[in-house]
Amino acid sequence: MKILMVLTSHDKLGKSGEKTGFWLEEFAAPYYVFKDAGAEITLASPLGGQPPLDPKSDTEDFQTQATHRFKADPAAQEVLANTLKLADISANDFDAVFYPGGHGPLWDLAEDAASISLIQTLLAAGKPVAAVCHAPGVLRHPKTPEGRPVVEGKTVTGFANSEEAAVGLTKIVPFLVEDMLKENGGKYTKLADWQPHVVIDGLLITGQNPASSESAAEALLAKLS
């Protein structure tokens, strides 16, 4: 079982002057779900090397069992520091892909040609694609072989407009995940803000927010088994 995890390389929160990147919990929890299941995990990002960590996700309020485990795991830290370049990755080498969120993917992965091609190739080959929180933004441009948006007619979720408003970034982000999924024909669903919510529709697995990261990873494993 070979799982690719794709992280952002983008570290600027629009024109706010603040930093962003990937969200620690959304990487750490799925990473250990996959690792503990015996999966072979490969990490990639648009630029390769160390992906930028959203500093907010590293504050005490957002620490979990998985983030503590990661901070005590030099081997995992070494793997994260040496992500492969996404453009060098072949979709044929993997059984599935998982995209952790954080705001970063809205700027780079959502528009990245290698990411778009990866998603299209995996889905066309009958392989699942999972994304959590802001990472469903990567589904903005991928198309089916018939040229339709891959989310069209699919039940999906992702970071809610109300959650974006709660963190005060509605006018900072390049697009709102909820709006984009609806505009592309997705049947968007959500639960209350910050509650775990994972949706599985065919080969697409989407999670609403950071609290959904572990269950989204477990859903991907279940799909693979």
Is there a contact between 51 and 7 (Cβ–Cβ < 8 Å)?
yes
The span from the CA of 107 to the CA of 10, in Å, is 7
Question: What pLDDT score does 176 carry?
Answer: 98
- Helix axis angle for 24-36 and 74-81, nearest 10°, is 110
CATH architecture group of domain 2-224: 3-Layer(aba) Sandwich (3.40)
Question: What pLDDT score does 43 carry?
Answer: 98
Domain residue extents for the chain: 2-224
102: its two tokens? 């954080």
Summarised one tens digit per residue, pLDDT across range 173-217 is: 999 999 999 999 999 999 999 999 999 999 999 999 999 999 999
Is there a contact between 89 and 4 (Cβ–Cβ < 8 Å)?
yes
Beta bridge partners of 194: none
| pLDDT-flagged residues of the chain (< 70) | none
Round the average pLDDT of the chain to a whole number and report it. Answer: 97
Question: What pLDDT score does 19 carry?
Answer: 96
The span from the CA of 47 to the CA of 202, in Å, is 30
Question: What pLDDT score does 185 carry?
Answer: 98
CA angle (56, 32, 140) in 5-degree steps: 60
pTM of the model: 0.97
Pairing of strands 204-207, 198-201: antiparallel
User: How much of the chain is helix, strand and coil, in % rounded to 5?
Assistant: 40, 20, 40
